[in-house]
Amino acid sequence: MSYMSDDPQSQGVLMFPMSRRDFMKAGAAAGLAALGAPAFSAEPSAGAGKPNLLILHCDQLSQWALSIYAPMHKNTPSYGKTLVETPNIARLGKEGAVLTNFFTNSAVCTPSRGCFFTGRYPESHGAYVNNTPLNPDEITFGEQLKRHGYDTGYCGKWHLNGPPKPGFMTPDLSRGFDDCRYMFNRGHWKKIVEEPQPDESDSDEKEAAVKGAASLQKMKAHYCGEVKCIDDNVGRILKALEDKGLLDNTIVVFTTDHGDYMGEHGLMGKNQWYRTAYQIPFLIRYPKKVKAGAVVGHFATNADFMPTVLALMGVPPSGREQGVDASAILTGAKVEWKDEANIHHSSRQGAGVYTPEFDLILRNNGLNMLFDLTNDPEEKNNLAGDAAHKQVFDELARKIITHNKAVNPEAVEWLQAAAARYGAPPAAVKENKGGAKAGAEAGAKDRAKAGGGKKGKRGAAGEE
């Protein structure tokens, strides 16, 4: 098999009322290193009653690739079929909760991870494009837990310390993750080999277009093989925790930074505007507070994670979070909830909002995108400019502008101009190839201004 430059390798975060050394022993026994998993461990100084936290955080993993999610997409054409069984990941959902509408705020590694670890949106935490570091004053949930008595550690890819590659981390750079012996900044080195083949992953054009059904089928097989490898190792980790009597007092989270286009709209990779790369897996097991078998349909995003997990652990927020505490929708408490996900493209040339019924993306080039998810779940028919949907467009555009006034005021002027251009032709959605190329160029220019280095293999916004 050929090399996949953005394989769905797994990563994780863990807090424990046990010592880092004991946890890392457990993690080693369970194969954390084989996962490429950031393992975050933490030991509260007063351990009684304090939960542990393990986060297994994958790179570029789509919902459709997990067997527990596949049937949930059965009403969407071309989806709903289980391609690979992932029973160990499914166990987390069966013994905990599955979030069906969990979204990344930006479908590229660095900004997504920044939202996840700080609870803030890309322009606020500063790492809005790949290979750009977090602002120096950002507070991660690792730092916040450390302040409240937890020992912390991290193993695997970080991608929030700028250009260094691999960039093995030291405690002065690791943002609250004290045990950072196996923490590196960025890079992908996993390979699956069936027979020698040339590496053809360097071309941006190949990133933006599918080269035929046979090629796509092979790539999907590679992808599913790596997903199966992740699932096997999740099983080893859960068994290790279970054998040590730690599982039920451990919050176990499985999620990713973004999904993967694999042929949808003629695209490969990520960082476009369609929902597939933004709607990602999120499963959580914590029997003390999360009811087994819960399927949560409410919307939540990466920016909501930090305030949510701190609330579940009984730790106060840092006070800087922009996301909201979603613990109530996990525990089954009755609460008024806004089902919206705010989207920030790393080119800073597009912003959007996803709702249960509609997705709207405002774009600085005038090619706005509006989709009716009820009647068009595959987002094939762009309704931007359709007279019958102007009221919906205007309402969602106001939501986008209001959100950005609070977290990204520099974008408000062009967003208002984009919202005024309602007449964007519906056919604009068909500019997929050009849109992918334009997104890559805009992202590369933006990252160059930020000192992010060369454009990577993955095209749009310089992804690896």
Q: What is the DSSP letter of 354?
A: E
Taking the C-alpha atoms of residue 333 and residue 226, their distance in angstroms, rounded to an integer, is 37
For residues 140 and 118, is the Cβ–Cβ distance under 8 A? yes
Q: Model confidence at 461, in pLDDT bands (50, 70, 90)?
A: very low
The secondary structure of residue 358, as a DSSP letter, is E
The span from the CA of 218 to the CA of 208, in Å, is 17
Helix (H, G, I), strand (E, B) or coil at 418: helix
Name every residue whose Cβ is closer than 8 Å to that of residue 224 and which is 6 or more positions away in sequence. Answer: 65, 83, 84
Spatial contact of 145 and 40, defined as CB atoms under 8 Å apart? no
Alpha helix positions (H), 198-353? 204-208, 213-243, 302-313, 327-331
pLDDT tens readout for residues 294-323: 999 999 999 999 999 999 999 999 999 999
Tell whether the model's pLDDT for residue 4 goes beyond 90. Answer: no
Residues 157/9, Cβ–Cβ less than 8 Å: yes
Mean pLDDT of 198-227: 68
Higher-scoring residue by pLDDT: 27, 279: 279
Q: Which two tokens stand for residue 56?
A: 């297994």
103 secondary structure, DSSP code: E
Strand 52-58 relative to strand 250-256, pairing: parallel
Residue 95: both structure tokens together: 């013994």
Residue 423's pLDDT is 58
DSSP state of 97: E
Reported pTM: 0.84
Report in angstroms the alpha-carbon separations of 178 from 103, 135, 223: 29, 19, 33
**In what side-by-side order are the strands of the sheet with 369-372?**
341-344, 350-354, 358-363, 369-372
CB 142 within 8 A of CB 20: no
Q: Tell me if 176 sits within 8 A of 144, measured CB to CB.
A: yes
Q: Which pLDDT value is given to residue 422?
A: 76
Instruction: Write b or e for each residue in 16-51: b if 16 or more Cβ atoms lie within 10 A of its Cβ, otherwise e.
Output: bbbebeebbebbeebbbebbbbbbbbbbbeeeeebb
Q: What is the pLDDT of residue 13?
A: 54
Strand 250-256, strand 282-285: pairing? antiparallel
Q: How confident is the model at residue 396, as a pLDDT?
A: 98
Q: Count CA atoms closer than 13 A to 222's CA, side-chain side.
A: 22
Let me know: does 155 contact 33? Beta carbons within 8 Å.
Answer: yes
179 pLDDT tier (thresholds 50, 70, 90): very high
3-state secondary structure of 120: coil
Q: Are 120 and 137 in contact (CB under 8 A)?
A: no
For residues 17, 18, 21, 27, the Cα torsion angle rounded to the nearest 10 degrees is -80
- pLDDT > 70? residue 374: yes
Compute the mean pLDDT over every residue in the chain, rounded to the nearest whole number.
Answer: 83
For 9-13, 220-224, 283-287, which range has the lowest pLDDT when averaged over its residues?
A: 9-13
Please report the domains of the chain, with CATH numbers, ordered by start residue.
Answer: 12-331 (3.40.720.10), 345-430 (3.30.1120.10)
